[in-house]
Amino acid sequence: MDSIQIKDKKFTVSIKEEDILKEVSRVANEINRDLAGKNPLFLSVLNGSFMFTADLMKRITIPCEISFVKLASYQGVASTGAVKEVIGINEDLSDRTVVIVEDIVDTGLTMQRLLETLGTRGPKEIHIATLLVKPEKLKVNLNIEYAAMSIPNDFIVGYGLDYDGFGRNYKDIYTVVNE
């Protein structure tokens, strides 16, 4: 399928599964090399990273644990607008090597919030693994050690990412067509 329609938007294929998996394998190899002996705890951020997490973890060969967190938006008490709360951290992070597994880093504000929250739980170190990064949009300074791919500043769906809840199931990544 070269193009798909989701609600009011048309998308065309931009990164094929085969190319995604090559980069996911590269990232997995780097993590296997860098974090050997550290028994890392991978924290996958749902929903968007479910496919990336599955393909990445199949290629991680060092002893490790995997868990899942979610970000819930709630209205802040002040005039700060929507604030994101991290829910579902059941593990003891103290003295652990943690790897956050995200779908995409856009402005980086979500990742910054995650780092702040997880940082209060006493981990030894926190690493970032993301499927995608949009470097043109980054607003904060992040040390993204493991990024599978960099993309331009366009809206994408597929391979776990959605548009209004749809499109997560596609195995390739699609970019919106601006008409």
- Catalytic sites, residue numbers: 106
Strand-strand pairing, 97-105 and 82-87: unpaired
- Is 161 a binding residue for ligand 5GP by CB under 6 A? The answer is yes
Q: Which residues ranging from 103 to 142 are in contact with ligand 5GP (CB under 6 A)?
A: 103-111
State in angstroms the smallest separation of the CB of 75 from ligand 5GP.
17
State the CB neighbour count (10 A cutoff) for residue 93.
19
For ligand 5GP, the closer CB: 25 or 112: 112
Strand-strand pairing, 97-105 and 156-157: unpaired
For ligand 5GP, the closer CB: 27 or 105: 105
Q: Which two tokens stand for residue 9?
A: 């938007």
- Four-point Cα dihedral 153, 151, 175, 17, nearest 10: -170
Please state, in angstroms and rounded to a whole number, the distance separating the CA atoms of residues 101 and 169: 18
* Alpha-helix runs per DSSP H in the chain: 17-34, 50-57, 109-119
For ligand 5GP, the closer CB: 1 or 109: 109
- Is 156 a binding residue for ligand 5GP by CB under 6 A? The answer is yes
Please state, in angstroms and rounded to a whole number, the distance separating the CA atoms of residues 126 and 113: 13
Binding residue for ligand 5GP, selected from 57, 64, 162, 171, defined by CB under 6 A: 162
Q: Of 58, 45, 59, whose CA–CA distance to 126 is shortest?
A: 45
State in angstroms the smallest separation of the CB of 156 from ligand 5GP.
4
Convert residues 67-106 into a mask of x (bound to ligand 5GP by CB under 6 A) and - (unbound). -----------------------------------xxxxx
| 44 SS3 class | strand
State in angstroms the smallest separation of the CB of 159 from ligand 5GP.
10
- Is 50 a binding residue for ligand 5GP by CB under 6 A? The answer is no
Residues near 36 by beta carbon (within 8 Å), at least 6 away in sequence:
62
Return the range that interacts with ligand 5GP (CB under 6 A); candidates 57-65, 73-81, 120-128, 150-158: 150-158
Contact residues toward ligand 5GP (CB under 6 A) are 48, 102-111, 155-157, 161-162
